[in-house]
Amino acid sequence: PPPAEKFEYQAEVSRLMDLIVNSLYSNKEVFLRELISNASDALDKLRYLSVTNPELSKDAADLDIRIYADKENGVITLTDSGIGMTRQELVDCLGTIAQSGTAKFLKALKDNKDAGGDNNLIGQFGVGFYSAFLVADRVTVSTKSPKSDKQYVWEGEADSSSYTIKEETDPQLIIPRGTRIALHLKRDDKGFADPERIQKLVKNYSQFVSFPIYTWQEKGYTKEVEVDDDPVESKKDDQDDQMERKKKTKKVIERYWDWELTNETQPIWLRNSKEVTTEEYNEFYRNTFNEYLDPLASSHFTTEGEVEFRSILYVPPVSLTGKDDVVNQKTKNIRLYVKRVFISDDFDGELFPRYLSFIKGVVDSHDLPLNVSREILQESRIVRIMKKRLVKKAFDMILGISLSENREDYEKFWDNFGKHLKLGCIEDRENHKRIAPLLRFFSSQSEDYMISLDEYVENMKAEQKAIYYIASDSVTSAKNAPFLEKLMEKELEVLYLVEPIDEVAIQSLKSYKDKDFIDISKEDLDLGDKNEEKEAAVKKEFGQTCDWIKKRLGDKVARVQISSRLSSSPCVLVSGKFGWSANMERLMKAQSA
């Protein structure tokens, strides 16, 4: 056979391996969860592809994961009958870090450092294949893809910047399909190669993998064995002989080794929601999405009738897209199954509108065809109905957080995803009724914590007809605006819109509970206190002054007029009724700069 070929890792990989080993030192056991999760992904891929191409899975029907712990030699072997890898895929997948888990890990590591560093958090984080080197000093991956006739072996060592690939030649190790990973444990970590320990780890970390995970376990059953005749006893009467012999047995435990099913294979979403605990939902979330923090909320439901599907949705605790870029188009946040077969997690607005793309979850449909393609998804009536229901459930879930006694939960939500909802005001007219109660703003009467529109409405004066707002770049500049004087005097509350997106969002809503939103910086602000006689008198007195000012300012202003809206400032600049507000002008200027 040709000799093994040697490859160098992509530069980041060796660095990453160092980082992993150093920062996860106290939490080595995550390696098993990572390898199982990869095996499960590989099985998902195979199952999905074999829906349209049954040939793929003909060689070995069972889709499962088997873990063998060899205590004597300190070796753990993990085998899956999944999609495997071709030679090129070995190079691409195990020699580079283009993968999701590892990229996220690097980000978390950085965030963690910025935040002062708490390595424990990272310990629960998804780091992917390279975590094998936490416990092993040598890892071999022998793998056979249905796309290739040959089986290849990848081998890497913990402190090396290169790895090798060769053809599998040992006939005993040839597998029909899938991947077999052998971890040759470091001297101090040989303790992991213990069947009971492995069993515990599987139960702990991989309970919700939807393929059976078998571990090689020692078992025993009791059986009765005959005991040798006692020479003294046998001298007894012949006729008692038979009875005596029956009594001369004893119970022994017969030991043997066999594969034992170690996880719960029924998907959690198929279970009755009354029987699933919050901790189980959280665990499923962390496992499925490779997250290390618990979700803010979850919702498990079934819909029947026109369209039937089951789903568990989650609101993540933090936004991974970062504060400034609101919508990350491709998220892999929703995993779609059809009759338990994983179909795809690559969506772009088909199941959730873009602005809700932060919602994570699983959706299992009974009505879609197994070979559903992107085109079908985009045009399907069923998918449209599903989307409507999912969106409704997502809003219910968010509303649930906002009604929680723990005010901090919603503050956390708003901090992370408030912008998404404001984008929803602009993009999704149909759901205005659901979005509006979720919005939060500072106001002239609440500068330290944000209030809801409901709280505003409740606080309105009896004669007040509209919801007043002022858009500005900060609470400080909003509250110093002269426009506010008259309203403050009358104790009318004014919302402070201080985020760039706020003004457009509010203008898209137009009104809330039949009360129009009114920008107090616009020229025709009417507070219902017109005194025409007095105004006429003042106009007469100051008419010439206005003309003079207008002459001096020329084209810089459209008009100079007498106003009744100020109480202590002598004058104020206002925007025309139909023009942009000053805040909008500022934003547009910033954008075109």
Tell me if residue 496 falls in helix, strand or coil: strand
99 sits near ligand ADP (criterion: CB under 6 A): yes
Q: How many residues bind Mg ion (CB under 5 A)?
A: 3
Q: Is 38 annotated as a binding residue?
A: yes
Residue type for 299, please?
S
38 sits near Mg ion (criterion: CB under 5 A): yes
Residue 456 class from Cβ within 10 Å (0-12 exposed, 13-18 middle, 19+ buried)?
buried
Q: Which one among 69, 93, 139, 372 touches ligand ADP, defined by CB under 6 A?
A: 93
Length of the chain measured in residues: 593
Annotate 344-410 with DSSP letters as a single string.
Answer: E---SSSSS-GGGTT-EEEEEESSS-TT--HHHHHH-HHHHHHHHHHHHHHHHHHHHHHHSS-HHHH
Q: Is 100 annotated as a binding residue?
A: yes
38 sits near ligand ADP (criterion: CB under 6 A): yes
Shortest approach of ligand ADP to residue 92 CB, angstroms?
A: 8
Q: How far is CA 73 from CA 136, 182, 184, 190, 191, in A?
A: 12, 12, 8, 8, 11
Q: Is 333 annotated as a binding residue?
A: no
Q: How many CA atoms lie within 13 A of 59 on its CB side?
A: 13
Instruction: Report 108-137 residues binding Mg ion (CB under 5 A).
Output: 128
CA atoms of 216 and 258, how far apart (whole Å): 6
Tell me if residue 451 falls in helix, strand or coil: strand
Q: Which is nearer to Mg ion, 38 or 365 (CB)?
A: 38
Stretch that binds ligand ADP, among 78-86, 147-155, 292-300, 347-355 (CB under 6 A): 78-86
Q: Which is nearer to ligand ADP, 34 or 345 (CB)?
A: 34
Shortest approach of Mg ion to residue 102 CB, angstroms?
A: 8
- Residue 208 backbone phi and psi in degrees, to 5: -100, 15
User: Tokens 């919702």 map to which residue?
Assistant: 299
Closest to 130 measured CA to CA, from 58, 22, 216: 22
Q: Is 149 annotated as a binding residue?
A: no
102 sits near ligand ADP (criterion: CB under 6 A): yes
Shortest approach of Mg ion to residue 127 CB, angstroms?
A: 8
Q: Is 124 annotated as a binding residue?
A: yes
Q: Is 460 annotated as a binding residue?
A: no
88 sits near ligand ADP (criterion: CB under 6 A): no
Q: Which one among 31, 68, 125, 129 touches ligand ADP, defined by CB under 6 A?
A: 129
Instruction: Report 160-179 residues binding ligand ADP (CB under 6 A).
Output: 179
CA atoms of 102 and 350, how far apart (whole Å): 27
128 sits near ligand ADP (criterion: CB under 6 A): yes
Q: Is 349 annotated as a binding residue?
A: no
Shortest approach of ligand ADP to residue 182 CB, angstroms?
A: 12
Tell me if residue 540 falls in helix, strand or coil: helix
82 sits near Mg ion (criterion: CB under 5 A): no
Instruction: Report 89-108 residues binding Mg ion (CB under 5 A).
Output: 101
Decide if 218 contacts 195 (C-beta within 8 A): yes
Q: Which one among 36, 67, 69, 85 touches ligand ADP, defined by CB under 6 A?
A: 85
Site string for Mg ion, 448-487 (x = CB under 5 A): ----------------------------------------
- Residue 75 backbone phi and psi in degrees, to 5: -125, 135
User: Which residues of the chain form contacts with Mg ion (CB under 5 A)?
Assistant: 38, 101, 128
Bind-site residues for ATP: 34, 38, 80, 85, 100-101, 124-129, 179, 374
User: Which residues of the chain form contacts with ligand ADP (CB under 6 A)?
Assistant: 34, 38-39, 41-42, 80, 82-85, 93-94, 99-102, 128-129, 179
